[in-house]
Amino acid sequence: MKAFLRHVVQRLREGMLREVLTEMKWIYRCSMRYKGAVIWYIFLGVFGTGMGLGSSVVSKYIIDAVTGYDSGLIVPAAVGYVSMNLFRIGANALTSRVSAKIQIGVNQEIRSEVFATVLHAGWEEIAEFHSGDLLNRLTGDVNTVSQSVLGWIPNLITGLVQFFSALFLILYYDATLAVLALLSAPVTLVLSKYLMKRMRDYNVKMREVSSDVMAFNEEAFQNLQYIKSFGLVGSFLERFRTYQEKEKDVRLTYNKFSIGVSSLMSVVGMAVSAVCFGWGVYRLWSGAITYGTMTLFLQMAGSLSAAFSSLINIVPSSLAAATAAGRIMEITKAEPEQADDPPGAEGFCRAAERSGAAVRMENVHFTYRSGRDVLAGASLFARPGEIVALVGPSGEGKTTVLRLLLGLVRPQAGSVTLQAGGETREVSARLRRLFAYVPQGNTMLSGTIAENLRLIRENATESELWDALEKACAAGFVRALPLGLETPLKERGGGLSEGQLQRLSIARALLCDAPVLLLDEATSALDMETERRLLHSIMHAESRRTCIVTTHRPGVLSACDRVYRVGDSGVELLGPEELKTFVTGK
């Protein structure tokens, strides 16, 4: 035993167990939000265990009464037996109800915390995770943790009460039998040092492969049109089967390991039960105990063995929960955006909303966490009433410039500022309300057109919706729809063309009435005439607006006040001759 304790201490000092303990502490903190309900659950569990043990003791007296040892006890013993079992049934029913409330509550609170963390975290922090992996952590991992809240401390306490109560009863009647009933303990303790690491490794692998499968499924469903149009259905089915095979291999390997361990423990348990039964038969044959005591011995030996197995089984379930908690903690540790509210920020925003805001980048250097250098010494300027274009090859930094302007990422050197009311401020999450942003790609959600537009302003009137649609050159096609504003859109705007969806996205951005409008390839699906008309409409409707667009289409540049070329880690203002060369390609 001393050697085992030394081994436990040594393992506690090692990284794996230290990590597990940290994760278990996190689960413990989650459960303490429901401390009262957990205590009530523990009480019900202990009470039910007590009633079960009590009914076993009473059954001894019933059997002794029936076999003639003390017939006067049969009526009170029978009443006690029935009463205790009814109490136990009631306690179990209440336990199930309390258990459901706690698990649902913990599940929803952890999900809410993870969801809020994702929304508040810095852009680069969350970009490290695949969206499918985030969904798996938000669902599967959170479910595992919420179930473990009642499968760890409460079950540990209930199991210990059952174990020591059964042990005390056996010791009271026969100390030798107590020793025999615990013969499986040394085998289990010896195996534990080998089992814990294996279980941890298997749990990590199963969680990872589950995330891979969900990530692949999500990407496939989001790109069904692409998959079908290029005849990739067979290829994706094959890849899906490959992921399934990988998942099957991991799960079956763990299943084989679990069956082996379970079978070994069952053989040990069977041997211990046989020894206990043999000892009880010998004691009964020698006249040392009654039939009732023999029955009690068998029940308590089974109860002791079951309690010990229950305590041991807490280990794999706890390791699974700890693994899931560790994956959730990776998200909750993500650094939040700097959403500070410096003095005067509200006044600055009001001034910018009244008179507009100029945008300036000066000598900006930016490198992503991956190590990819994007900008080195980049500068640009855009003032109210202007349309400024960013042009250049894909992947050279145009979208990164917009992320810097929005404060989604921060430069390693240089400054990104807004100027309004004679004041200059660094961009931040607090000032993001001064921007209206239309990103690349489809950003429509399932719901009606009106519901999509009101995502920006919930209380927008119908006339305000139509006004935004007019400015975005979208009112015509919306009026032509049978249900108009109440036309339902499918996932990702299904049912409308890309050009129509782009104009709806721009209309939605215009509803927030921000002084700075950022369009990231947001007009790429429009014909050139519609694109020019839309830009003219946007700027004509609001002279204080600053508009910055990224585009690959030279034809629209004639509507812009200035054009910057983004590439080779720089941002270069194009002069008239350079712009002419860029447009004509000569």
Instruction: Look at residue 318 and tell me if it is in a domain.
Output: yes
Query: Which domain CATH number covers 366?
Result: 3.40.50.300
Residue 574, H or E segment? none
Q: Which of 563, 566, 189 is nearest to 580 (CA)?
A: 563
Can you give the pLDDT of all 586 residues of the chain as single tens digits?
344 345 444 544 445 566 667 777 777 777 777 777 777 777 777 777 777 777 777 777 777 777 766 555 666 767 776 777 777 777 777 777 777 777 777 777 887 888 888 877 777 777 777 777 778 787 878 887 777 776 666 777 777 777 777 777 777 777 777 777 666 666 666 666 566 667 767 777 777 788 787 777 777 776 666 576 667 778 888 888 888 888 888 888 877 877 777 677 667 767 776 777 777 777 778 777 777 777 777 777 667 666 666 666 666 677 777 778 888 887 877 777 765 666 777 888 888 888 888 899 999 898 887 777 778 888 899 988 888 888 887 777 888 888 888 888 888 898 888 888 888 888 888 888 888 888 877 777 778 888 888 888 888 888 988 988 888 888 888 899 888 888 888 777 677 788 888 888 888 888 888 888 888 877 777 777 777 777 777 776 666 788 888 887 776 777 788 888 888 877 888 877 777 666 665 5
Instruction: Look at residue 411 and tell me if it is in a domain.
Output: yes
Q: Are residues 174 and 286 in the same domain?
A: yes
Q: Are residues 326 and 352 in the same domain?
A: no
Instruction: Look at residue 433 and tell me if it is in a domain.
Output: yes
Render pLDDT for 294-347 as a digit per residue (tens, 0 to 9). 777 777 766 766 666 666 666 667 777 777 888 888 787 777 776 566 677 788
Residue 378 has phi, psi (to 5 degrees) of -85, 140
Instruction: Look at residue 182 and tell me if it is in a domain.
Output: yes
Q: Are residues 214 and 244 in the same domain?
A: yes
Of 306, 332, 358, the domain-final residue: 332
Instruction: Look at residue 538 and tell me if it is in a domain.
Output: yes
Distance, CA of 469 to CA of 507 (rounded, Å): 5
Contact 320, 144 (CB under 8 A): yes
* Six-digit token string for 206: 């199963």
Residue 410, H or E segment? none
Distance, CA of 461 to CA of 450 (rounded, Å): 10
Residue with tokens 């082996």: 260
Specify the number of domains making up the chain: 2
Distance, CA of 518 to CA of 506 (rounded, Å): 10
Distance, CA of 428 to CA of 340 (rounded, Å): 8
Contact 388, 548 (CB under 8 A): yes
List, as one string, the DSSP characters of 106-159.
HHHHHHHHHHHHHHHB-HHHHHTS-HHHHHHIIIIIHHHHHHHTTTSHHHHHHH
Q: Are residues 29 and 112 in the same domain?
A: yes
Q: Are residues 327 and 361 in the same domain?
A: no
Q: Are residues 96 and 145 in the same domain?
A: yes
Q: Are residues 410 and 319 in the same domain?
A: no
Instruction: Look at residue 568 and tell me if it is in a domain.
Output: yes
Write the DSSP symbol of residue 474. Answer: -
Q: Are residues 537 and 436 in the same domain?
A: yes
Instruction: Look at residue 337 and tell me if it is in a domain.
Output: no
Q: Which stretches within 223-232 are classed as H helix?
A: 224-229
Confidence at residue 48, expressed as pLDDT on a 0 to 100 scale: 74
Contact 437, 520 (CB under 8 A): yes
Q: Are residues 182 and 160 in the same domain?
A: yes
Q: Are residues 323 and 431 in the same domain?
A: no
Quick one: the chain helix, strand, coil %, rounded to 5?
70, 10, 20
Of 332, 356, 373, the domain-final residue: 332
Coil, strand or helix: which one is 47? helix
Coil, strand or helix: which one is 420? strand
Query: Which domain CATH number covers 129?
Result: 1.20.1560.10
**What's at 494, amino acid-wise?**
G
Distance, CA of 522 to CA of 548 (rounded, Å): 11
> How many Cβ atoms from other residues are within 10 Å of residue 231's Cβ?
8
Residue 547 has phi, psi (to 5 degrees) of -120, 125
* Six-digit token string for 437: 């942003």
Crossing angle of helices 291-332 and 233-285, rounded to 10°: 150
Cα dist from 254 to 20, 248, 327, 416, whole Å: 19, 10, 20, 53
Instruction: Look at residue 338 and tell me if it is in a domain.
Output: no
Of 332, 366, 400, the domain-final residue: 332
Cα dist from 141 to 105, 113, 214, 461, whole Å: 15, 13, 13, 42
Confidence at residue 502, expressed as pLDDT on a 0 to 100 scale: 85
Question: 429: domain range?
Answer: 345-584
Q: Whole-prediction pTM value?
A: 0.67
Contact 214, 133 (CB under 8 A): yes
Confidence at residue 230, expressed as pLDDT on a 0 to 100 scale: 61
Cα dist from 462 to 335, 494, 502, whole Å: 39, 23, 20
Confidence at residue 8, expressed as pLDDT on a 0 to 100 scale: 44
Q: Are residues 412 and 328 in the same domain?
A: no
Q: Are residues 366 and 324 in the same domain?
A: no
Distance, CA of 191 to CA of 194 (rounded, Å): 6
Render pLDDT for 370-385 as a digit per residue (tens, 0 to 9). 777 778 888 899 988 8
